[in-house]
Amino acid sequence: MATELKLDSKLDLAFERTTSLPVEKIWKGWTDPETLMKWFCPKPWKVTECRIDLRPGGEFYTLMQGPEGEIVPNNGCLLEVVENKKLVWTNMMTQDFRPMVTDSMGFPLVATLLLTKTEKGTFYQAIVRHADEEGRKKHEAMGFKEGWGLAFDQLVDLMKS
């Protein structure tokens, strides 16, 4: 199942999984703030605030808290919303496409979530595009694949319960 986006190995990171859950449950996990707060960070991190205005130009905001009290705000803007199929956001803008001077992660990105309905559930793809190699390397070193994997497992467990 190929992605519709051309990936650049120097700039992009990708995460793929399959699950028996229907796309509607994965979509709800990503778009309902109360649900997202329960799974979005690999434990022991947690999301203490979340706002999602589900429309192009809408806010996508999470406030993450680490086990030692670290606070990481993530401000973003939704760029594309296709129900049960595609969610695209960036940390380079805030709501209503307002450019931001800086971002909380330390590197600009555009993230795309693609959900494909399969006979047995959902094929899940997350693609994060970075402005430069330094940003991609920094994101990878933060544990991109491990973190997205743990968070995905938490999402699946939550939505199965």
Going from the N-terminus, what domains does the chain have, and what CATH number goes with each?
12-160 (3.30.530.20)
Model pLDDT, residue 102: 65
- Give average pLDDT by consecutive 10-residue segment, the chain, 161 residues: 73 97 98 98 95 98 95 94 98 92 76 97 97 94 94 96 90
Predicted TM-score of the model (pTM): 0.91
What stretch of H or E contains 159? helix 144-160
Q: How many CA atoms lie within 13 A of 1 on its CB side?
A: 13
Reported in sequence order, the residue ranges of the chain that DSSP labels E, i.e. its strands, are: 12-19, 46-52, 60-65, 71-74, 77-82, 86-90, 93-94, 98-99, 109-118, 121-130
At 137, give phi and psi (nearest 5°).
-65, -40
